[in-house]
C-alpha cells in the first residue's frame, strides 16, 4: 500500500520553542546599545539600532546604509519631519514584530506636518500617548504611513 504524503506538517513544540527563543533574542536588542552599528536621530531622540535587523526589513534603511550616501559611511541617519514616537514604534515593530503604545510615553508632539499628521492638535500639555489613545485609528494610519515611507511591508 502506498504511503500517504503529508501535505502540511505543523511545527513541533520544540520547533515553536526555538522560533520563540530567536524572536525573543531579536527583541532583546530593541533600543539596546550592545552590538549597535547604526544611529537614527529623530528630533531630540537618538535611537541605536542594528543594521542586520533594521536594514533587512526596510528598503529605505538598507538603501541609506548601502548606497553612496554619507549615511553609509557614518552609519548615522537623521530623520527630519518625523515624529520620534512613530520612529520608536517603527523600530519596535522591526525588532519584535509588533508595536504598541506604552505608558512610558510622556513626550508631546513636537511638530505637526500635513505629511505626518492631518489632524488638528491642541498645543496644550497633552501627551502624545493621550492623543494617540483618543485617535487610535489615526495612530494605526500613521504607522501604515511609516511602513510606506520606510518600505516595511509588514506595517502596510
* pTM, entire model: 0.73
What phi, psi does 47 have (nearest 5°)?
Answer: -115, 130
Look-up: residue for cell 498645543? 123
Range of the domain at 133: 29-155
Q: Is the residue at 13 inside a domain?
A: no
Residue 155 is classified by DSSP as G
Q: Which three cell numbers stand for residue 116?
A: 505626518
Q: What is the DSSP string of 109-137?
A: P----TTT--S----SS--HHHHHHHTHH
Q: Confirm whether 20 is domain-assigned.
A: no
Residue 36: predicted pLDDT: 97
Q: Look up the CATH number of the domain holding residue 107.
A: 3.30.710.10
Q: What is the DSSP letter of 153?
A: G
Assess if residue 110 is contained within a domain: yes
In the chain, how many domains are there? Answer: 1
Alpha-carbon span 56 to 152, nearest angstrom? 10
Examine residue 21 and state whether it is found in any structural domain, yes or no.
no
Closest residue by Cα to residue 132 from 90, 87, 88, 100: 100
Name 64's Cβ contacts closer than 8 Å, sequence gap at least 6.
71, 72, 77
**Domain membership flag for residue 7:** no
Instruction: Identify the CA nearest to 54 among candidates 70, 77, 85.
Output: 77
Question: How confident is the prediction along the chain (156 residues), in pLDDT tens digits per residue?
Answer: 566 666 677 778 888 899 899 899 999 999 999 999 999 999 999 999 999 999 999 999 999 999 888 989 999 999 999 999 999 999 999 999 999 875 444 343 333 344 444 444 444 445 666 776 677 888 889 999 999 999 999 998
Domain-embedded: residue 62: yes
Amino acid at each position: 500500500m502506498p504511503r500517504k504524503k503529508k501535505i502540511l506538517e505543523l511545527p513541533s513544540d520544540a520547533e515553536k520553542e526555538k522560533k520563540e527563543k530567536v524572536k525573543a533574542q531579536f527583541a532583546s536588542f530593541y533600543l539596546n546599545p550592545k552590538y549597535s552599528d547604526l544611529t537614527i536621530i529623530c528630533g531630540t531622540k537618538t535611537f541605536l539600532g542594528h543594521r542586520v535587523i533594521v536594514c533587512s526589513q526596510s528598503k529605505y534603511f538598507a538603501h541609506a546604509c548601502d548606497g553612496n550616501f554619507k549615511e553609509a559611511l557614518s552609519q548615522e541617519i537623521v530623520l527630519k519631519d518625523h515624529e520620534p514616537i512613530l520612529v520608536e514604534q517603527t523600530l519596535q515593530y522591526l525588532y519584535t514584530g509588533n508595536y504598541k503604545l506604552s505608558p512610558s510615553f510622556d513626550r508631546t508632539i513636537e511638530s505637526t506636518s500635513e505629511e505626518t499628521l492631518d489632524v488638528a492638535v491642541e498645543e496644550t500639555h497633552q501627551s502624545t500617548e493621550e492623543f494617540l489613545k483618543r485617535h487610535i485609528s489615526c495612530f494605526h494610519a500613521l504607522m501604515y504611513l511609516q511602513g510606506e515611507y520606510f518600505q516595511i511591508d509588514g506595517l502596510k
